[in-house]
């Protein structure tokens, strides 16, 4: 319940999800009175048997320090939802709450998969040829070569779940494609990836290559990944705004603007960030999906779809098997 819009975006998304998937059951963690009021407003009493409210008044705000959340927010909606995952009461959880708190509580309550040094955030992004899984998106700023190798292994399993493909090409995000470029850690990671017989390593790629579809998994530290993702989202939003703006002066501008507007609107719909909301927290013993903090109802619904895919494939278990066989 700690996202920017709180349950106002979550409840409509849950109702839509239950209507789309009649076999699904959901648990909502948060203030009972507020949640029940929003559920009643949806006027879908036939869904009440599949939508359980787990009451909890403690909330982790977006400004909450992760260490404070770890020590003092064990009864929050986020913590109780993670406990439900740990106990096997639910197959996956989705939250728009504080990312730092989520990472800290996930590692504490669920624990790391054996062999995983640092869990990572990753998500599947649209490309010219399908999709590309990008990680890390901000969970880890300082990453060793061994960390990047582990991210690659986890990202491969996640992308296999999202695409159904077995043979995937992996690349490292760098400031250039030349082998001598980048930090010492990135160059060392390249050597480790080249030596791993189970990984089809394609070399270094630059930011623009993420969206061309030349590779299926792109690995980087959390700083590079977060900047790359949010820069792309910013460009998409800018293009979306331009698509709805037609110059008022000049006949030719108006004429060609009208011709282009439909194509631009269609393109914006296809790559709208809300359609690809939901990052997987890979490397912990459970399926945890992080939705954007300002997610709309549509965006939160998309994150729930991602959670459903991960739960059905038991992505966390698959990552565990991959790490055990590495």
pLDDT digits (tens, 9 = 90+) for 97-129: 999 999 999 999 999 999 999 999 999 998 888
Q: Give, rounded to a whole angstrom, the gap between the first and last alpha carbons of the chain.
A: 37
pLDDT for 310: 96
Pick the closest to residue 284 from 1, 85, 28 (CA basis): 85
pLDDT for 236: 67
Q: Domain containing 253: what range?
A: 122-276
Strands 93-95 and 200-205: unpaired
DSSP characters for 243-306? Answer: HT---SS-HHHHHHHHHHHHHHHHHHHHH-GGGG--EEEETBSS-EEE--TT--HHHHHHHHHH
pLDDT for 301: 95
Altogether, the residues listed in the chain come to a count of: 326
pLDDT for 257: 58
pLDDT for 62: 87
Q: Give the whole-angstrom CA distance, residue 150 versus residue 162.
A: 19
Rg (CA), the chain: 21
Q: Give the whole-angstrom CA distance, residue 215 versus residue 217.
A: 6
Residue 165 sits in a domain of what CATH number?
A: 3.40.718.10
In a domain, 99, yes or no: no
How far is CA 105 from its chain centroid?
17
pLDDT for 6: 78
In a domain, 259, yes or no: yes
pLDDT for 274: 64
Q: Give the whole-angstrom CA distance, residue 319 versus residue 90.
A: 18
pTM, to two decimals: 0.88
Name, in order, each residue with C-beta under 8 angstroms of 183's C-beta and a sequence gap of 6 or more: none
Q: What is the mean pLDDT of each run of 10 residues along the chain (326 residues)?
A: 76 96 96 94 91 93 92 95 97 95 96 96 90 95 96 97 94 94 95 96 94 95 92 72 55 57 56 75 97 88 95 96 90
Helix axis angle, 297-313 relative to 145-163, nearest 10°? 100
In a domain, 41, yes or no: no
User: In the 8-state DSSP scheme, what is residue 209?
Assistant: G
Cβ atoms of 290 and 281 within 8 Å: the answer is yes
pLDDT for 326: 78
In a domain, 68, yes or no: no
In a domain, 117, yes or no: no
Number of domains within the chain = 1
Tokens of 52: 């359980």
In a domain, 101, yes or no: no
Q: Give the whole-angstrom CA distance, residue 319 versus residue 109.
A: 18
In a domain, 246, yes or no: yes
b/e code 267-298 from CB counts within 10 Å (16+ = b): ebeebbbbebbbbbbbbbbbbbbbbbeebbbe
């Amino acid at each position: 319940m700690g996202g920017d819009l709180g349950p106002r975006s979550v409840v409509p998304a849950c109702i839509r999800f239950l209507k789309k998937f009649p076999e699904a059951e959901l648990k909502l963690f948060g203030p009972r009175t507020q949640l029940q009021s929003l559920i009643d407003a949806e006027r879908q009493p036939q869904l009440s048997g599949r939508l359980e409210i787990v009451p909890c008044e403690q909330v982790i705000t977006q400004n909450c320090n992760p260490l404070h959340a770890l020590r003092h927010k064990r009864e929050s909606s986020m913590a109780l939802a993670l406990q439900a995952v740990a106990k096997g009461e639910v197959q996956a959880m989705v939250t728009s709450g504080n990312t730092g708190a989520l990472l800290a509580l996930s590692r504490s309550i669920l624990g790391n998969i054996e062999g995983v040094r640092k869990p990572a955030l990753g998500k599947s992004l649209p490309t010219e040829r399908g999709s590309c899984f990008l990680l890390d998106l901000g969970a880890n700023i300082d990453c060793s070569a061994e960390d990047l190798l582990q991210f690659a292994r986890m990202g491969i399993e996640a992308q296999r779940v999202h695409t159904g493909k077995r043979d995937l090409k992996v690349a490292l995000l760098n400031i250039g494609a030349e082998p001598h470029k980048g930090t010492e850690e990135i160059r060392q990671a390249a050597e480790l990836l080249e030596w791993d017989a189970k990984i089809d390593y394609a070399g270094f790629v630059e930011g623009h290559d993420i969206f061309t579809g030349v590779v299926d998994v792109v690995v980087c530290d959390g700083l590079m990944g977060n900047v790359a993702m949010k820069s792309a989202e910013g460009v998409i939003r800018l293009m979306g705004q331009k698509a709805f703006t037609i110059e008022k002066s000049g006949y030719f501008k108006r004429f060609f603007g009208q011709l282009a507007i439909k194509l631009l609107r269609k393109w914006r719909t296809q790559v709208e960030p809300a359609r690809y909301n939901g990052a997987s927290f890979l490397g912990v013993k459970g399926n945890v999906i992080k939705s954007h903090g300002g997610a709309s109802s549509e965006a939160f619904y998309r994150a729930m779809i991602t959670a459903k895919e991960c739960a059905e494939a038991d992505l966390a278990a698959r990552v565990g098997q991959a790490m055990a066989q590495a």
